[in-house]
Amino acid sequence: IGAAALAQTDRYEMPADVAGTARALADTALDSDLAWDIVESLTTEVGPRLAGTPQEARARDWAVAKMEELGFENVRVEEFPLDLWTRGRSIYEEVAIVSPYPQPLYATSLGGAAPTPEGGLEAELVFFDSFDDLLAFDGAEDALRGKLVFVNDRMVASRTGEGYGWANRKRRQAWLEAENRGAAGVLIRSVGTSSHRFAHTGMMSFPEERMPEIPALAVSAPDADQIERIHHSGETITLRLRTHAGWRGEVVSGNVIGEIPGRETPEEIVVIGGHLDSWDLGTGALDDGAGVAITMAAAHLIDQLPENPRRTIRVVLFGAEEVGLVGARAYANARLADGTIEDHVIGSESDFGAREVWKFSSNVGPEALPVMDAMAREMAFLGIIRGDNESGGGPDMIPLQYMGVPMAALEQNGEDYFNFHHTPDDTLDKIDPGELAQNVAAWAMFVWMAAELPVDFRAGEDEAEAGDAAR
């Protein structure tokens, strides 16, 4: 649905009392430290919280306590099983150039990677300018046998972060291309846009449940530059790796849920949240302590109103997002099982850092479009423009959206998000308290309006089918 279609829709006038309360919530949010206090508490008192580890369990305990302290109702944990992968002995993994110019490199295993043999692995590097070059590689059958495949694509930074998906292809799939060609391991230039000496971790993809049998690592951008320079000088490069990454068996993860019950139609749910797990290298401040804090704070500010909105606001802090949306799928499947999927009137997750919200996008039925436009007009004073109606609602909303739940997106400025994301450098100091408060203001406004207005955000019968066809 493009701009022309939007222009044809009717104008909806936000009721003055709803608009007035929205504005008052925003003013309160802009003066509030609550989100900062929450993300400070999570990143300090829990710190890194890799899915399935005792640290993630501590994060659930933290979340339950924090929700109860803030007055959320029906606070509960929904557990689910998880296959645990960890880096092994240490967050530090040993990677070095052995020849021609011996020196250590800064690198990190990708999620799901196998370990090296116990004593380490030494092999020659084969350089690919891009993942597409690896895909197209048709050298001699044993050209990569026993070698270390290196893939050098660079990610493009942008406000929308749209360079991430393209750059991530190598992270997700290079292991399979390398292993299928007999390689002993695979290394990639880090996804992400950091110029600092941090490697960018993240999960790989496992088509048809096949798991890698080779080590797979990302090296920092300055180290990838070094490999690139040596390669272009014509020298043969030999690396040495020693890693202990691997799968550790089935453990327990879980989602933490809390609610602000609706005053008129409590069965109707506006579902928001962030993910509680983080990668192990940083303290998960931007990804996704910020989203946890923003959505909890927004819901709490609404709970401070004289009376609750019509509908229930449900905050879900998802577990095990980083390792494959495991908590999101568990949540959606549980709602399918208990028959409450249809009660989810709209959903949205905050999971793109802590810079300012600049665009309000949606994925709702055409009859609700004028309402979304009106919401955007109310939020304009925060520096927010109206986006299109083709958005998702954040990674943990994907299973719900697939099941037909309408979505909204409070899009953040992501131009430097990937300088920190999934690296040791994702720490509290990277959050600007003023920008964080602007997020809470936007979220409080949206969530209030979505929970108070008796609007059906769902597509009509025809549109729902069209939506299915488009997926």
- Applying CB under 8 A, the residues found at the interface with a second copy are 40, 44-48, 55, 90-92, 94, 97, 100-104, 106, 195-198, 221-222, 225-226, 229-230, 233, 282-283, 423-425, 427-430
Least separation in angstroms between CB 46 and a second copy: 7
* Alpha-carbon torsion (454, 455, 460, 465), positive or negative: negative
Helices within 154-257 (DSSP H only)? 163-180, 221-232
CB under 5 to 8 A by kind: which of Zn ion, a second copy, none does 229 bind? a second copy
Least separation in angstroms between CB 57 and a second copy: 12
Token code pair at residue 271: 């579902």
Least separation in angstroms between CB 142 and a second copy: 30
Contact 342, 424 (CB under 8 A): no
What residues are paired with 344 via a beta bridge?
A: 269
Q: Which residues contact 160 (CB under 8 A, 6 or more apart)?
A: 411, 414
56 binds Zn ion (CB under 5 A): no
Least separation in angstroms between CB 221 and a second copy: 7
CB under 5 to 8 A by kind: which of Zn ion, a second copy, none does 236 bind? none
CA distances from 242 to 90, 120, 125, 184, 247 (A): 11, 4, 15, 13, 16
Q: What angle do CA 457, 459, 462 make, to 5 degrees?
A: 165
Token code pair at residue 324: 């494959």
DSSP state of 162: T
Least separation in angstroms between CB 54 and a second copy: 8
Q: For residues 8 and 103, which CB has a smaller minimum distance to a second copy in the complex?
A: 103
CB under 5 to 8 A by kind: which of Zn ion, a second copy, none does 287 bind? Zn ion
Q: For residues 51 and 397, which CB has a smaller minimum distance to a second copy in the complex?
A: 51
CA distances from 362 to 24, 350, 369, 427, 438 (A): 23, 14, 8, 30, 19
351 binds Zn ion (CB under 5 A): yes
CB under 5 to 8 A by kind: which of a second copy, Zn ion, none does 8 bind? none
DSSP state of 319: S
Least separation in angstroms between CB 286 and Zn ion: 8
288 binds Zn ion (CB under 5 A): yes
Q: For residues 172 and 240, which CB has a smaller minimum distance to Zn ion in the complex?
A: 172
Round to whole Å and give the CA distance between 167 and 193. 10
Range in contact with Zn ion (rule: CB under 5 A) among 53-61, 100-108, 351-359, 400-408: 351-359
Which contiguous run of DSSP H or E holds residue 277? Answer: none
Q: For residues 60 and 169, which CB has a smaller minimum distance to a second copy in the complex?
A: 60
Contact set with Zn ion (CB under 5 A) = 287-288, 322, 351
